[in-house]
Structure formats: C-alpha cells, structure tokens
C-alpha cells in the first residue's frame, strides 16, 4: 500500500506536470522603435566620417537608431512635406528644412517647439541664424513668442565678395552702402584693366540676390505673418528704388542686359571672379570654398586671375544709405521635429539625441573642414581653425548690422518676382512697370490680406 | 442568548472529514471569487481591445484619407474650379470622387470643400456618398453644390482653412453622435495642390467618410470571443475544483481513516468493556492488547492505561470479593452473638437449677437443646469461614443452603415470620466455596433487609428444565424495577444502594457458574431474589473450569 509521503509526492508530481499546461508562449518582443528622418548627402557624408573617426557611439550606431528617408531632388519643387505635415503624418519625424520652409511650417504649427521642450537651446546658436529659424508661436494668455523650431547646421547666406587685394591697394574700405560700392568701382575699375565688371550678380535666380538688396532698402515682400505687403507704399517705393539701383549699375559697373546672358551657366559668376574679371560679386558664402578649390587647382589661370585666397574679401551685401541693417538671404537648412510624430516622451528623447548628433560641435567642425561650412553653434565658431571660414563669419555674418532673413516661402511670389525682375534687368520693363505687373499678378494673394 | 455551536456526537473521523469538506468548500468559495475578478479583467480587456481597435481604425481612416488627399493634390484643375455652370473640370472632379467612393468599400463618401467662401458663407463643394444605410435615400450621383456648413463642422472647416491643419478636439466632437451623412467615421484634411512651378498651394478641405461596419462586426466577434473565454474559464474552474475536491476529499478521507483508526479501535474496545462478562474479561484484555496504535503517542498512552486498568480490575475484584465475604461473615457472626449469649446464659441458669435438682429431666432436655442450637449455629458459621479453594467439583447445595437459612433466621428481628419450602436439590458443577458464599451473601442481604414483624421465605426446588432454583422472599417497602437492577449494578447505583454488594457478587458467582440471579419487586412489598443454577451434567465431573 502506498504510504502518505509517497502519495503526497505523486500529487505534487502530477501538479507539476499539469502546470505547463497553463503556460502559453510568451508574447513576441516588440521591435525597437526607430526614428525616421529626411536623409541628405552632405549629412550622410559627415556621419560616415564621424562614424569612423569619432569616439561617440552615436555616430557608429547611427543607422541602427535612425532610419533615413531619402527625398529625391525632383520632388522638392512640389514641397512634398506640406502634404505629409498638413495631414498629420508621423513620418518623417525629423526633417531637414530650408529656412523659408521652416518659417512656413513653423507658423502653421507643424513643427515642434525646441526650446520649450528642452530639445535644443537657442543660446547655443549664433544669434544671426537663430533668429532665422524661429517663428512667432501663439501663447495662451499672452503675445506670441519667438520660438526656435529648427536647428540650423550651418550659417549660409548670400554675401558680397570683393577683391581684397585691390581694395587694400587703393585704400578703399569694404563698402557698406551702394554709394560706397559705386564709388569704389569708379575709383578702381579705370585703374585695373583686368577688371571687366565692378559687380556681378546672378542672372538666373536673381530674386535670391535681390531680396537682401530690397531688404537693405527697407522694403518687404511679405511680413512676418506671411502676408503680402509689397503693394504697400513704403515697400513698393523701396522695391522700385532697389531695382532702380541695380539698373543704374548695369552697363558701367554691373553687366548690362546684353552681357547678362553669359552668366546664365552654373558657376559662371565664380569663374569670372576667379579669372579676376570682377571687383565685387554677390554670391552664397559657400562659394569661398569653391574659389579656394579653383585657386588650388589653377585651371585656366589667366593674367589677373586669383592666385591666393587672401585676395578675396567678404562683407554683407550693401544697403541703402541711411538704412540700419544689411541683409543676407539665408540659405541654411535646419532640423525640425514633426509635431505629429511626437506621440510619446520617447520620441522627444530620440529627436533630441538625433539633433544633438547632427548639430554637434564635432559634426560642424568637420563640415567646416571638408565642406567649408560656417558652423551655426557658438561653441564650434570659437573652435574654428580654418581661416577662410573664420573670415566668412567674422567679416560677413558676425558684423553687427548684418541680419539673416528668409525669403518668402511662396513659390508663386518668388516665381512672379523672378519673372518680372528679369524683365527689368534685361531692359524690357522699367522698375516701376515690373512691380506694377508683379502686384497685379499677385492680386490673389493680396486679396488674402 | 448566546448560541454555542457544537458538533453532534459523531466520531472523530466524521468530524475530521466534515471539517476538511468545510475547509475545501471555503477554499472553493475563495477560488470562485476569482470569477468576478476574471469578469472584470475580461471587461477591461474588452475595453482596451475596443479602444485599440478604434484607434487602429482611426489611424487607418486617417491613412486612407491621407492617400486620397495625395491623389487630390495632383488634381491641378481644382485651382480652376468656380461656382456656376458645370464644365469639363467639374465633370472630371466628380468622376474622380465617384470612382473613389464606388470602387472602395472602406470609403463611404467624399466631399471636396473649397477653402474660399462666397459672401453668403457657402463653399463650393463636390460631394458623393454611397449611402448604404437603409434609412438614407441614395444619392443620384456626385454633386457640385454651394454648401453652407454649420456648428462644429463650420468651426472645424474655418480652423482648417486658416491653419491648414486639423483641430483634434473639434474633429472628435464632429465625429461624436449621429451624422446626417450616415454612420461613418469622418476625416477632414487640408488639400494642397502640388504645382511644380509654385509648390504646394492650399485649396481647401477634403471630408472623407470611412465605413465603420468593420469595427462593429469585429466588436461583435470580440464580444462573442470574450463570452466563449468566460465560459471556458468558468468550466475549467469548476472542473478543476471538482477534480481537486474529489482528489482532496478522497485522499483526506483515506488519511483521516488511517489517522483515526487506533482511536476508533480503542473506543470500540473500551465500549465493549461494559458488556463483557467476567469469563470474557481475559479475551477483552487480549483484544485491547491487539489494538495497533500506529506509533501514535496519544493512542499508545490510552491503550497502556486501559491495559493497566484491565489488568488491575480482576485483582480488585478478588480483593472486593474477599472483603465482602469477610464483611458478610462478620455481619452473620454479629447476628449469632446475641442468641448465643442468651443460650449460654440460659445454660448457666440450667446448671444452677440442675444442682438444685428441682427440674431433673426437663432441665436436662432444655440444656441439651440449647447446646445443640449453639453448636449448630457455630457450625453453620464455620462452614462459611473456610479458606477459598479454586477447585471446581460436584456441589451439593442443600447443606449450605440450610446453614445459610439458619443463619438468616437466627438473627432475624423479633416477630419475623419464616416460611420455608425446601426440596432436595440436585448437585451442580462449580466452586463449593463460591456457591455457598453466594447463598451467604443473599441470606445476609435479605436478613438485613427484613423488617420487624416481617416475613422471610425460602423456596428451594429443581424444576424439570434441569435447573436448580432457590427463591428468597423478604417483606418490606415496595421496590421499583429500576431499584432492583441497581442492586445488581451497585457501582452505577445511587448512594442508597451503593454499599450493598452482596446481590451483585452473588449474581457474579451465579453467572460464573452459568446461572442467573434475578431480583424483582415482591407484589406485597419487599423483594424476590431467584438464584438459578444449572444442574451438573455427569460429564463435567472430571473437568476443570474453562476460564
């Protein structure tokens, strides 16, 4: 007969055998969350460099934590992000946006505030560029406040390039106003036979060069709320004056209508400047790096061509006499966070980690070294070791009366302006007539006002 | 009044079993309490599932709507639409939304609402609803109308047209309650027309109705599944409890039976002590010793105590018998002393008279009678004073009976009437000593009980059935049957009868010899004691007693 203890053991054994029947398979582990971002070539190149060189694990494991979505360049004219953001798409979570888009998307409330949420502090940025990536955000029970909505990775804008060697030779300071520029040209051009032009500006996309000129005359096309204000009296007269100033330079100082065609080709401006044919040139600051490359290679060097980068000086684009500020049309891109992707604190943490990687000091210093970019971080600017980049910041963007401003985001506005401005500088229409046509075409936008 | 719970007089095993069953039922009730908790959990699960499904469907609706908006963003003609007569552009737009609604089961309807309103606040709207709901009339086809919006929907559209994004709270409010479009999930999304030359141009709002029948059927399925799970778990709990209960009660019953077996056997043996006859006492003691205690300390203690008690009882009985015998002899002797003294006094007087020779022959005869009486009395007493002998043999009860009767009558109170009817009795098989003393106990008892002026009767006979029957009758107060029984069980009797051990000892001797002693009330008052003994069979002559 079975003893008590044996019976007890049998019961325990049977119970233990039955136990697994109540245990199902554990649920499968949910895959790890990955932050999506808009991928781009320059960022990818820097990340790859830092992945090899940097001690930070964030760069080595970058692709594990973040999923890049490449945006074909052909789609960019359609503003593909508008559809995504306006319909509250969660992808991509972090976007690299042009400054005008930052203004537009920020004003629409599609971008997440970065300062308030402690993702990135505005005082880490150079003041000039921080302002361009901030928008007025409504505040409950108070006036709107300027809130940083994107973090620029560099300072980029169009500035005035000049022949520093010649200005020093003739003891002419860099011009602050168009009068001073005109005077400098009158003084130097007759004496320097290699110079064909006093001032070069873009023939295609002239509107990008015109905006800082217009702003330097005190005019605006749209206001801070995105409303069209060009038709208002002060703005219209400033616009006509600015265009008239450019028209007046054509022929003697700037290329006339007939000569403009030779500057249609990409890179034609910097090539002419490299050949020593121009005293002044309006162009993006990144062209200094291109000039450096041209000088280093020395291809097609002719008598009078640049042989040393020290021959090149930079300054803000001149303004009208009496105006307090000079302007640059900001061309920087910045990282903004899609508001609709922020569905949990983890997303904020990931976005913060991402932005701190792509806007890191090491990142920007490397970009300055290999791409000639001007860092946007104050701390990176202090550690700059490249004289040409230091020169760009010191002589152009850090000048006290220099302001970076984003052009209007509306392609319709820009395209309309571009079309009629070209007519004006081609001599087909007077400045007054050009702006009359512009205002007429933008009447629909005006009605929105 | 405080009611105190007490178990009925059941065995320890029954009590243990009952307690175990009660404990199991209590545990089962506690386990069954989990069922309401399970219900709550399932309800919570259902709620969470519903929430998840709703969120999932909302996300799906948003995605579908977003994809539609992506298609509408390619519709450059939207920038050309205007109120008024229908043209090719209107027809193309209407055709597109007809296709989207007709060939997509998820989409219940679409409205394309231009952002700009006319002075009356009406918006140019292209709309088409499939309207599968029976209470709604079918739409003839896509419509181009100037539509005026009201209430929350208007607020939402205004917000959308101004901010180019959706106000979540307003959207939720619009989706609450019944809608004139039918039961559907509504999505309002801004529509931008993408132009390669000009970028994204805001046009207006796409209002898209998403079918909710899917979620309803899923919820129904979910509810049915929950019910199935509930029943299955309930069944599993009941089944588990039943199996566990049967197993537990079965095992515990076995354990309880095994645990209480020594105590039960001890109880049975103890209980049988009351009914055991003296000649069966050794057998009872042997049974007690055979009880298996299974190494239980308490049972072993009880068993040992009972054995010690059982072994002491016979010795106590012997001592009690001897003591009672001595006491009876003493009482009888005490009863002889007064008449003996009177006889001796008379003899001395007769001695004097004989010397004076006043009454020659008469004195001599009286003197001889007195001496004879004295001698008979002391001889009768001496018969009962001998040493006990364990030897059994054929016994002639007649001499002993006569001696005992004489001793009984000798010390009887004055005026007592004696009736005797003595037939010669056949021999019986037994202990002469014990049998004669049994007679002595009885005559001592009735002699002591007889009142003055009372009556004592003796009848000795041998009925035909082979029995020897000796009947004593004594007058006195009336007795009840219960009192008569108490005389046979003096240790259980009341204090009045506690010290009268004679009848009980006589009954024990009679029973030892296969006979009986009956005590019944005498109809006229007093008692009748009938001692019945079996006649001795001839074959017993050469055998010893069997116990």
The nearest alpha carbon in chain A to B164 belongs to A86
pLDDT in tens, A401-415: 999 999 998 888 998
Q: What is the ipTM of this complex?
A: 0.76
| All CATH 3.40.190.10 domain ranges in chain A, comma separated | 35-155+330-389, 158-329+410-448
Of B66, B194, B247, the CB nearest to A89: B66
- A positions 199-258 inside 8 Å of B (CB): none
Pairing, β A312-315 against β A374-375:
unpaired
Name the DSSP letter for residue B138. P
User: Using CA atoms, how far apart are residues A217 and A324, in angstroms rounded to an integer?
Assistant: 10
CB contact under 8 A, A77 and B163: no
The nearest alpha carbon in chain B to A18 belongs to B240
At residue A140, does pLDDT exceed 80?
no
pLDDT in tens, A211-240: 999 999 999 998 877 788 999 989 999 999
Name the DSSP letter for residue B112. E
Q: Which two tokens stand for residue A177?
A: 């106003």
Among B69, B166, B198, pick the best mutation site for testing chain A contact (most A Cβ within 10 A).
B198
Cα B100 to chain centroid distance, Å, stands at 76
| Residue B84 · residue B221 · CB < 8 Å | no
> Quick one: pLDDT at residue B408?
81
> Quick one: pLDDT at residue B16?
79
At residue A355, does pLDDT exceed 80?
yes
Weakest-pLDDT range from A41-45, A345-349, B10-14, B343-347: B10-14
Residues from chain B contacting residue A83 (CB–CB below 8 Å): 66, 69-70, 73, 192, 194, 200
Q: How confident is the model at residue A445 (pLDDT cuts 50, 70, 90)?
A: low
A434 to chain B, closest Cα gap in Å: 20
Closest C-alpha to A335, from A184, A82, A153, A103: A153
For residues A154-159, give the mean pLDDT.
96
The string over A295-332, giving b where at least 16 C-beta atoms fall within 10 Å of a residue's C-beta and e elsewhere, is beeeeeeeeebbeebebbbbbbbbbbeebebbbbbbbb
> Quick one: pLDDT at residue B139?
87
Residues from chain A contacting residue B192 (CB–CB below 8 Å): 79, 82-83, 86
Q: Is the dihedral of CA A20, A23, A24, A29 positive or negative?
A: negative
CB contact under 8 A, A78 and B196: yes
Of B69, B163, B200, the CB nearest to A78: B200
- What are the boundaries of each domain within chain B? 8-67+214-270, 73-211, 315-542
> Quick one: pLDDT at residue B496?
53
Residues from chain B contacting residue A411 (CB–CB below 8 Å): 195, 197-199
> Quick one: pLDDT at residue A31?
45
Q: Does A89 touch chain B (CB under 8 A)?
A: yes
Residues from chain B contacting residue A410 (CB–CB below 8 Å): 198-199
Non-local CB neighbours of B538 within 8 Å, separated by 6+ positions: none
Non-local CB neighbours of A145 within 8 Å, separated by 6+ positions: A136, A137, A139
CB contact under 8 A, A83 and B70: yes
CATH number among 3.30.70.20, 3.30.1050.10, 3.30.565.10, 3.40.228.10, domain B315-542: 3.30.565.10
Chain B residues within 8 Å of chain A (Cβ atoms)? 62, 65-66, 69-70, 73, 163-166, 189-190, 192, 194-201, 247, 251, 255, 258
> Quick one: pLDDT at residue A32?
59
Among A11, A18, A19, A83, pick the best mutation site for testing chain B contact (most B Cβ within 10 A).
A83
DSSP-based three-state secondary structure for B179: coil
Q: Does A87 touch chain B (CB under 8 A)?
A: yes
CB contact under 8 A, A108 and B165: yes
At residue A348, does pLDDT exceed 90?
yes
Q: Does A109 touch chain B (CB under 8 A)?
A: yes
pLDDT in tens, A236-277: 999 999 999 999 999 989 999 989 988 999 899 999 999 999
> Quick one: pLDDT at residue A314?
97
CB contact under 8 A, B197 and A108: no
The pLDDT profile of chain B, 547 residues, written as one tens digit per residue, is: 555 655 556 777 777 778 878 888 888 888 888 778 878 887 888 788 888 888 888 888 899 999 999 999 999 999 999 999 999 999 999 999 999 999 988 899 999 999 999 999 999 999 999 887 777 888 889 999 999 999 999 999 999 998 888 888 999 999 988 888 888 899 999 999 988 877 888 999 999 999 888 777 877 887 888 888 888 888 888 888 888 888 887 888 788 888 888 888 998 888 888 777 777 888 899 999 999 888 888 888 999 999 998 888 888 877 877 787 788 788 888 878 888 888 888 888 877 777 776 556 677 788 888 888 888 888 888 888 777 777 888 888 898 888 888 888 877 777 888 898 888 888 888 888 888 888 888 888 888 888 888 899 999 988 767 889 999 999 988 988 888 888 887 766 555 544 677 888 888 888 888 889 999 999 989 999 999 998 877 554 444 444 4
Q: How confident is the model at residue A28 (pLDDT cuts 50, 70, 90)?
A: very low
Of B62, B163, B200, the CB nearest to A83: B200
The nearest alpha carbon in chain A to B254 belongs to A4
Among A71, A77, A78, pick the best mutation site for testing chain B contact (most B Cβ within 10 A).
A78
Of B62, B190, B255, the CB nearest to A86: B190
For residues A57-71, give the mean pLDDT.
88
Helices (H), B450-492: 481-488
CB contact under 8 A, B166 and A88: yes
Of A80, A86, A410, the CB nearest to B164: A86
A108 to chain B, closest Cα gap in Å: 6
User: Using CA atoms, how far apart are residues B174 and B166, in angstroms rounded to an integer?
Assistant: 12
Non-local CB neighbours of A3 within 8 Å, separated by 6+ positions: none
Closest C-alpha to A161, from A320, A289, A347: A289
CB contact under 8 A, A87 and B199: no
User: Using CA atoms, how far apart are residues B271 and B292, in angstroms rounded to an integer?
Assistant: 17
> Quick one: pLDDT at residue A104?
87
User: Using CA atoms, how far apart are residues B354 and B364, in angstroms rounded to an integer?
Assistant: 8
Q: How confident is the model at residue A181 (pLDDT cuts 50, 70, 90)?
A: very high
- A positions 398-417 inside 8 Å of B (CB): 409-412, 415
Non-local CB neighbours of B386 within 8 Å, separated by 6+ positions: B433
| Residue B267 · residue B532 · CB < 8 Å | no
For residues A78-101, give the mean pLDDT.
89
Q: Which two tokens stand for residue A360?
A: 């890191």
At residue A1, does pLDDT exceed 70?
no
Of A78, A108, A109, the CB nearest to B199: A78
> Quick one: pLDDT at residue B274?
77
Q: Domain A158-329+410-448 has what CATH class?
A: alpha beta
Q: Does A71 touch chain B (CB under 8 A)?
A: no
CB contact under 8 A, A415 and B196: no
CATH number among 2.40.50.100, 3.40.190.10, 3.30.460.80, 3.40.50.150, domain A35-155+330-389: 3.40.190.10
A83 to chain B, closest Cα gap in Å: 7
B114 to chain A, closest Cα gap in Å: 15
A438 to chain B, closest Cα gap in Å: 15
> Quick one: pLDDT at residue B248?
82
Residues from chain A contacting residue B70 (CB–CB below 8 Å): 83
DSSP-based three-state secondary structure for B330: helix
Interface A-B: count of C-beta contacts within 8 A: 64
Helices (H), B164-212: 168-175
> Quick one: pLDDT at residue A29?
47
> Quick one: pLDDT at residue B29?
85
């Amino acid at each position: 007969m079975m003893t008590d203890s044996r019976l007890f053991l049998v019961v325990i054994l049977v119970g233990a055998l039955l136990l697994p029947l109540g245990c199902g398979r554990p649920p499968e582990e949910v895959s790890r969350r990955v932050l999506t971002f808009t991928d781009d070539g320059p960022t990818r190149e820097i990340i790859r460099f830092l992945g090899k060189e940097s001690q930070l694990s964030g760069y080595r494991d970058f692709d594990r934590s973040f999923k890049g979505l490449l945006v074909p360049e052909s789609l960019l004219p359609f503003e593909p992000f508008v559809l995504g953001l306006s319909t509250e798409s969660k992808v991509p979570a972090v976007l690299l946006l042009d400054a005008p888009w930052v203004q537009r998307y920020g004003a629409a409330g599609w971008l997440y505030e970065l300062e308030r949420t402690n993702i990135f502090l505005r005082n880490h940025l150079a003041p000039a560029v921080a302002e361009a990536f901030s928008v007025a955000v409504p505040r409950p029970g108070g006036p709107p406040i300027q809130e940083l909505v994107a973090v620029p990775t560099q300072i980029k804008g169009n500035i005035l390039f000049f022949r520093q060697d010649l200005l020093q030779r003739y003891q002419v300071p860099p011009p602050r106003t168009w009068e001073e520029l005109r005077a400098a040209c009158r003084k130097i051009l007759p004496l320097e036979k290699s110079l064909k032009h006093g001032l070069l500006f873009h023939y295609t996309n002239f509107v990008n060069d015109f905006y800082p000129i217009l702003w330097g005359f005190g005019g605006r096309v749209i206001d801070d709320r995105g409303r069209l204000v060009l038709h208002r009296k002060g703005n219209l007269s400033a616009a006509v004056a600015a265009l008239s100033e450019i028209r007046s330079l054509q022929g003697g100082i700037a290329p006339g209508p007939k000569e403009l065609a030779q500057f249609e080709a990409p890179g034609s401006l910097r090539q002419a400047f490299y050949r020593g044919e121009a005293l002044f040139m309006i162009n993006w600051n990144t062209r200094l790096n291109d000039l450096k490359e041209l000088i280093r290679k020395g291809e097609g060097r002719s008598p009078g061509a640049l042989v040393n980068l020290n021959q090149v000086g930079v300054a803000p684009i001149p303004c009208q006499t009496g105006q307090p500020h000079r302007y640059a049309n900001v061309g920087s891109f910045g990282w903004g966070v899609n508001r609709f992707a922020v569905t949990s604190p983890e997303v904020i943490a990931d976005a913060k980690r991402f932005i701190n990687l792509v806007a890191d000091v090491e990142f920007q210093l490397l970009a300055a070294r290999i791409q000639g970019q001007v860092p946007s971080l104050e701390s990176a600017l202090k550690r700059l070791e490249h004289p040409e980049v230091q020169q760009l910041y010191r002589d152009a963007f850090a000048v006290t009366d220099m302001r970076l401003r984003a052009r209007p985001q509306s392609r319709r506005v820009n395209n309309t302006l571009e079309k009629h401005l070209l007519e004006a500088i081609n001599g087909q229409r007077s400045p007054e007539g050009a702006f009359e046509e512009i205002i007429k075409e933008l009447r629909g936008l005006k009605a929105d006002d | 009044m405080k009611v105190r719970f007490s178990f009925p007089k059941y065995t320890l095993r029954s009590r243990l079993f009952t307690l175990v069953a009660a404990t199991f039922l209590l545990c089962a009730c506690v386990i069954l309490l989990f069922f309401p908790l399970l219900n709550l959990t399932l309800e919570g699960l259902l709620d969470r599932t519903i929430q998840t499904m709703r969120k999932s469907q909302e996300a799906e609706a948003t995605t579908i709507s977003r994809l539609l908006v992506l298609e509408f963003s390619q519709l450059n003609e939207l920038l050309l639409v205007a109120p008024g007569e229908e043209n090719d552009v209107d027809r193309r737009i209407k055709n597109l939304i007809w296709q989207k609604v007709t060939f997509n089961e998820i989409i219940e309807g679409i409205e394309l609402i231009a952002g700009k309103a006319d002075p009356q606040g009406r918006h140019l709207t292209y709309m088409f609803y499939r309207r599968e709901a029976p209470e709604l009339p079918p739409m003839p086809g896509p419509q181009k109308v100037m539509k005026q919006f009201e209430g929350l929907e208007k607020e939402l559209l205004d917000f959308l047209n101004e901010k180019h994004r959706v106000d979540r709270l307003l959207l939720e409010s619009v989706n609450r309650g019944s809608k004139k479009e039918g039961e559907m999930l509504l999505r309002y999304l801004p529509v931008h027309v993408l132009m390669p030359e000009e970028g994204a141009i805001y046009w207006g709002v796409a209002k898209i109705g998403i079918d909710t029948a899917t979620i309803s059927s899923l919820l129904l399925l979910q509810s049915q599944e929950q019910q199935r799970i509930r029943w299955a778990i309930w069944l599993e709990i009941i089944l588990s409890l039943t199996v566990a209960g049967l197993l537990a009660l079965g095992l515990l019953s076995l354990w309880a039976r095994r645990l209480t077996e020594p105590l039960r056997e001890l109880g049975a043996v103890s209980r049988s002590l009351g009914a055991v006859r003296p000649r069966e006492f050794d057998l009872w003691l042997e049974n007690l010793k055979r009880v298996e205690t299974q190494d239980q300390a308490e049972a072993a203690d009880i068993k040992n105590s009972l054995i010690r008690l059982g072994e002491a009882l016979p010795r106590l009985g012997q001592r009690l018998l001897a003591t009672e015998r001595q006491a009876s002899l003493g009482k009888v002797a005490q009863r002889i002393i007064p008449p003996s003294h009177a006889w001796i006094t008379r003899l001395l007087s007769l001695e004097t008279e004989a010397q004076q020779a006043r009454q020659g022959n008469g004195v001599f005869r009286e003197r001889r009678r007195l001496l004879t009486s004295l001698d008979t009395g002391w001889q009768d007493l001496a018969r009962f004073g001998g040493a006990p002998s364990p030897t059994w043999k054929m016994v002639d009860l007649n001499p002993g009976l006569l001696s005992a009767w004489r001793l009984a009558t000798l010390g009887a109170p004055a005026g007592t009437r004696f009736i005797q009817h003595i037939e010669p009795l056949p021999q019986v098989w037994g202990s002469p000593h014990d049998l004669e003393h049994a007679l002595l106990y009885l005559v001592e008892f009735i002699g002591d009980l007889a009142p003055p002026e009372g009556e004592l009767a003796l009848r000795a006979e041998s009925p035909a059935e082979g029995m020897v029957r000796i009947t004593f009758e004594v007058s006195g107060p009336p007795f009840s049957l219960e009192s008569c029984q108490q005389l046979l069980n003096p240790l259980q009797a009341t204090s009045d009868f506690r010290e009268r051990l004679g009848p009980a000892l006589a009954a024990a001797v009679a029973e030892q010899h296969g006979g009986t002693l009956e005590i019944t009330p005498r109809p006229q008052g007093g008692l009748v004691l009938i001692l019945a003994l079996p006649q001795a069979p001839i074959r017993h002559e050469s055998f010893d007693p069997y116990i």
